[in-house]
Amino acid sequence: MDAADRAGALALFALLLALYTLTFSGLPDNPDAEVEFQSVHSLAVHHSLMLGGTPEAEAILAANFNVAPGGPGGEDRWYAWFGVGQAFVALPFYALGALGERLFPEVEARHRETLAYGAGRSEYWRHLAVGWRNPLLGAATAAILLLAARRLGASRSSALLAALLYGTATFAWPQARSTLSDVQGTFFLCLAFERWLALQREDARHFWAILWGSGAIAMAVLTRVALVPAALVIALAFVAVLFARRASWGQWFAFFVPAGVGAAVFALANFFRFGSVFETGYGTALASGTFFSYPPHFGLAGILIAPGKGLLWMAPLLLLAGIGLSVARKRGERLWPWLAAAMTVAIVAPVACSQTWHGAWTYGPRYVLPLVPFLWPAVALAFDVAREHRGVFAATIVLSGLGLATTLPGVLVDHMTHQDLALQAARAQWPEPGGADERERDAARFLAIQYDWRFAAPWAHWRIAAHRLGDSGEEYSARELFGVASDAPLRPEHDRERGWNHLAWVDLRQRLGGPAWLGPLAALLWLCLAALAWCWRAAVLGRPEAGPGGPRPPGQGAASR
């Protein structure tokens, strides 16, 4: 690991952030994300996590949506049941949004005069700034993956290409333009993984590797309690290396202090919200005992191959991971393949048993997004093999193209538009799918959509995009769009689902008459940073010595590029 690798990671980060900034959704694209934002508002304004005080919060409480009552004596206090880490990380972005309010108050005023899903609106610029967190963390995850691949022995070019394709040819891009917590949880687990690799290789700054790694594990749990099994696995991996290295007391201190602080914050947040250190708020949702009763073989099949959600389509380059892991074992890497296997079980097993294995109204199997970074360095190692094997090279080209073909429609067409139109058509295709009420019947139709090629994303996204690019308006034919024997017209229900309104800067211009040039300007600035970082990388590689490590071994320079 040298200055050239760090420069390459910075260039990749800035490049992807420019792309993600241009295409992110800005305002919450999912009701869950609005609930999470309201926790940020309460924490910043009222120094409490109790919801209330905004039109959106009042609508959430009236609908009793993803909230739970407070602890003893707090029956009139309601809290989101999502992780508090999401709110903590969002605080600086929430503060940044205040700048937009001061600079463009007229936009803020127009936003307050509009409705979303029947409820009033508030804090446009703060919503926008908090929504930008996922593009930032998504781009940072790709940059960290570049460094992780280099630590595992991938060449510079392969590590860079693999990290770039992670950011552009997997469902990580549509997830980064979204506003839910999976991107943040993935970022922290990926950071812990890279710090573990640094510690394993006896990095000179091992104390800081331990400190940052432990802190990242704690933040992953605070972000999503469902990541506890994965956090335990990576924590045990840290402990194993510390024992093997005969760690000093200072190193053990660096590991246990952030973990202990995270555990204390987790317990206190639960206690003050719900009256018990072990109650996260999900208790009411799990009380029926059926949440994890889904047949695991069906859930696993859905996660892997379902036409609308499967990893086979949403991250097809993972098919090369087996080749990369084999290369790693031949090079003497023993711990990482075991860690990758353990993380696969820890992340996939609970999701496969869950009724919501599909991640609900999002693009791709978002609950298994945190697993992808632990396997992705194997893709970079497989790229090294592709230089010498035509079959692997051809597979790399085909799978990269498939990845791009299934990622782009998730950006061009919002997932909420697709699900809205697909459910409308599904009611004609499956009028009586079974269920006690219409909500349960819609849930059955939603599941059927994921397995039916006619309805499933990303294929239906392309047909919706073609309809729009043909300037055919916002009325669709169920027969033409989904092959349903019905002539009933389909129309997106909400404004943000029409046209290109799902893009933040289009919405800002068309709905609010605001300064849409802010998005392209920000992207241009990030592109300039990417160019400067790339020039720095080129200058470092052009020196006789490759950074602090001294001269390159004979013959290494060309391959490492």
Q: Give the start-to-end residue ranges of the domains of the chain.
A: 27-131, 415-492
Does residue 377 have a cis bond before it (omega within 30 degrees)? no
Q: Do residues 416 and 29 touch, judged by C-beta distance below 8 A?
A: yes
Which helix or strand (DSSP H or E) is residue 67 part of? Answer: strand 67-69
Instruction: Say what the pLDDT of residue 286 is.
Output: 63
Q: What are phi and psi of 476, to 5 degrees?
A: -120, 155
Instruction: Say what the pLDDT of residue 554 is.
Output: 34
- Give dist(CA 381, CA 445) in Å, integer: 41
| 175 Cα distance to chain centroid | 5
Token code pair at residue 89: 């990380």
Instruction: Say what the pLDDT of residue 556 is.
Output: 39
Longest CA–CA span in the chain (Å) reads: 73
Instruction: Say what the pLDDT of residue 287 is.
Output: 56
Which residues in the chain show pLDDT less than 50?
546-561
Q: DSSP label at 115?
A: E
User: 247-257 pLDDT, tens per residue?
Assistant: 899 999 999 99
Q: Which residues pair with 154 in a beta bridge?
A: none
- Give dist(CA 179, CA 270) in Å, integer: 23
Instruction: Say what the pLDDT of residue 545 is.
Output: 54
Q: Which residues pair with 85 in a beta bridge?
A: none
